Amino acid sequence: MGTLRDLQYALQEKIEELRQRDALIDELELELDQKDELIQKLQNELDKYRSVIRPATQQAQQQSAGTLQGEQRTKRQAISAEPTAFDIQDLSHVTLPFYPKSPQSKELIKEAILDNDFMKNLELSQIQEIVDCMYPVEYGKDSCIIKEGDVGSLVYVMEDGKVEVTKEGVKLCTMGPGKVFGELAILYNCTRTATVKTLVNVKLWAIDRQCFQTIMMRTGLIKHTEYMEFLKREDVRTANVIAAEAVTCLVIDRDSFKHLIGGLDDVSNKAYEDAEAKAKYEAEAAFFANLKLSDFNIIDTLGVGGFGRVELVQLKSEESKTFAMKILKKRHIVDTRQQEHIRSEKQIMQSAHSDFIVRLYRTFKDSKYLYMLMEACLGGELWTILRDRGSFEDSTTRFYTACVVEAFAYLHSKGIIYRDLKPENLILDHRGYAKLVDFGFAKKIGFGKKTWTFCGTPEYVAPEIILNKGHDISADYWSLGILMYELLTGSPPFSGPDPMKTYNIILRGIDMIEFPKKIAKNAANLIKKLCRDNPSERLGNLKNGVKDIQKHKWFEGFNWEGLRKGTLTPPIIPSVASPTDTSNFDSFPEDSDEPPPDDNSGWDIDF
């Protein structure tokens, strides 16, 4: 039996043990709280990413369009968000509003932007401009600042107070001072993805969409204008520069400099179309001008997408004449705000006369649909062939890449960028030559100019597009490198489980990618030269333009003339038995869709 002292000692030990356990429980509870907070934060981030990705990917999933899902390879959906800032020409003259604020407020806004995943990549000068432009706004307790589903026009930074963020009635988080909110709808041109309500009185700083986008776009523009102005100066030196001691200089001549920053004139716009070809196209246009929709029979479906369908049609009067008729739902175009893209697609395709671009002969429209009557290429989609074969050999990839180089050379010589290169948009004609199709994102930008539309297919988007720095034809050469890699291996080099992750991987650069052995040395070298982070260092965008690609070692001995004349034998010759043979295309169910409502009430598409 223990003495009282022993019992007291044991009691003390137990008390100490209990105290330690309590301390451990407190510690674990704290850890749990922190983890809960972290989970909440990650869930919010996830929700934010999903909110901006879903509008684009939802469709993709519905129409079985994307990436490798398990073993199933699905087609990828392109994304686009058009900025709505002032006219680009006027941008540099726009005076943005200036609202004075205390150094503390300036610092708070700056830190909030740097803390925001979607805005932290802005240049410091852009952040400074945003700080200057933001104006004060106040809301009382229980006010709704942002309503989910609304069209948003302001981005906010919270200076003081507390708000609650909800989505579909479910609480996502609460937020205090030093945070940005409302940026998603502005950056990604979508409706508000969540509701933000005040819990107490709040003080905010706000900037409107137009000022925000103007700041995003004009940084690059101003730099570009300065370079242009510099080049337009007289050749006479305006000052003496005398070496005060021995100096070493790196020099660049005027021609190279001009080329590196985009060139001043339409120097590369050489005439592709001679008089004979012109007469041929005019006669062709006259023939198609006389046709009506009722002059065609539908034979089979060549493709189906969120936009509508592509049908193989034949002329009733001459059944051997078949065409691909793309049928687009007007309602879908309006809902996805693609009117401008559709107009541009029509204009560019109708005036494109290249053997490496699918011809658009004419368009029709009725109250529900727009119709594009195009050349039928019955060899099938390159995407389908790649899916079935897994990957291509070096020489096969070279042939298709060369077809794209020719298409790009033609488009770029007319000041047009394509912006959606991928195997899904290459189609083989009956000979096996590849042609570019789907010009929904193509745009005439002219020479030495840039554009800011966020568009393309995530795996193929160039870093300057992701970073909203403005882009030009060099973005097409980036995508050419991605295409080469995908054709050689079966998968693109930069690919993540969702677009935001893909963008992060792209921004890490091509040097972070381990090239598999099946990509031969010369091919790897060309891919790396096409996928330079800096657009002005990309092959195709240097002094010698596209010639640098054509003369690259990977193309050594390639018969470019034979390709242009159509005498070069393609690596895969499709079997096309007749002008109505659709066996190279996947099968699609018949159109079971309810026809969309009659849509000529109140609006129409100029097409």
Least separation in angstroms between residue 173's CB and ligand 6J7 is 5
| Position among 192, 258, 259, 422 found at the interface with ligand 6J7 (CB under 6 A) | 192
Q: Which is nearer to ligand 6J7, 110 or 162 (CB)?
A: 162
Q: Which is nearer to ligand 6J7, 184 or 467 (CB)?
A: 184
| 22: Cα separation from own chain's centroid | 55
Least separation in angstroms between residue 47's CB and ligand 6J7 is 4
| Position among 181, 371, 433, 447 found at the interface with ligand 6J7 (CB under 6 A) | 181
194 binds ligand 6J7 (CB under 6 A): yes
Q: Give CA separation, 585 vs 301, 310, 383, in Å.
A: 9, 11, 11
Least separation in angstroms between residue 216's CB and ligand 6J7 is 15
Which one of the spans 18-26, 56-64, 190-198, 574-582 is the region binding ligand 6J7 (CB under 6 A)?
190-198
Q: Which is nearer to ligand 6J7, 176 or 562 (CB)?
A: 176
| Neighbour-count burial of 241, counting CB atoms closer than 10 A to its CB (0-12 exposed, 13-18 middle, 19+ buried) | exposed
Q: Which of residues 159-178 bind ligand 6J7 (CB under 6 A)?
A: 165, 167, 172-173, 175
Q: Which of residues 499-558 bind ligand 6J7 (CB under 6 A)?
A: none
Sequence-distant (≥ 6) Cβ neighbours of residue 362 within 8 angstroms: 285, 288, 289, 291, 350, 373
Which one of the spans 8-16, 179-187, 235-243, 374-382 is the region binding ligand 6J7 (CB under 6 A)?
179-187
Q: Which is nearer to ligand 6J7, 209 or 359 (CB)?
A: 209
Sequence-distant (≥ 6) Cβ neighbours of residue 389 within 8 angstroms: none
184 binds ligand 6J7 (CB under 6 A): yes
| Neighbour-count burial of 263, counting CB atoms closer than 10 A to its CB (0-12 exposed, 13-18 middle, 19+ buried) | middle
87 is catalytic: no
Sequence-distant (≥ 6) Cβ neighbours of residue 435 within 8 angstroms: 355, 356, 357, 358, 375, 377, 403, 407, 426, 427, 428, 429
Q: Give CA separation, 66 vs 69, 310, 385, 495, in Å.
A: 8, 19, 16, 11
3-class state of residue 94 by DSSP: coil
Q: Which is nearer to ligand 6J7, 191 or 491 (CB)?
A: 191
| Position among 185, 352, 475, 524 found at the interface with ligand 6J7 (CB under 6 A) | 185
Q: Which of residues 20-49 bind ligand 6J7 (CB under 6 A)?
A: 44, 47-48
Binding mask 137-156 for ligand 6J7 (x = CB under 6 A): ---------x-----x----
How many of the chain's residues bind ligand 6J7 (CB under 6 A)?
Answer: 20
Tokens of 444: 């005439």
217 binds ligand 6J7 (CB under 6 A): no
Number of H helices, E strands in the chain: 17, 22
Least separation in angstroms between residue 210's CB and ligand 6J7 is 15
Q: Which is nearer to ligand 6J7, 44 or 297 (CB)?
A: 44
Q: Which of residues 560-599 bind ligand 6J7 (CB under 6 A)?
A: none
Q: Are 454 and 419 in contact (CB under 8 A)?
A: no
| Position among 65, 79, 119, 196 found at the interface with ligand 6J7 (CB under 6 A) | 196
Cα–Cα nearest to 77, from 382, 405, 391, 461? 461
Long-range residue pairs from 108-112, CB within 8 A, at least 24 positions apart, any chain:
108/157, 108/159, 108/177, 108/178, 109/134, 109/157, 109/205, 111/178, 112/157, 112/158, 112/178, 112/179, 112/180
d(CA 495, CA 486): 11
Which one of the spans 75-83, 184-192, 461-469, 492-500 is the region binding ligand 6J7 (CB under 6 A)?
184-192
Which one of the spans 133-141, 180-188, 202-210, 395-403 is the region binding ligand 6J7 (CB under 6 A)?
180-188
| 291: Cα separation from own chain's centroid | 36
Q: Which of 420, 438, 472, 599 is catalytic?
A: 420
Least separation in angstroms between residue 464's CB and ligand 6J7 is 24
**Strands (DSSP E) along 387-536, which ranges?**
416-417, 426-428, 434-436, 443-444, 454-456
d(CA 283, CA 288): 9
Active-site residue set? 420
The residue ranges that bind ligand 6J7 (CB under 6 A) are 44, 47-48, 51, 146, 152, 165, 167, 172-173, 175, 181-185, 192-194, 196
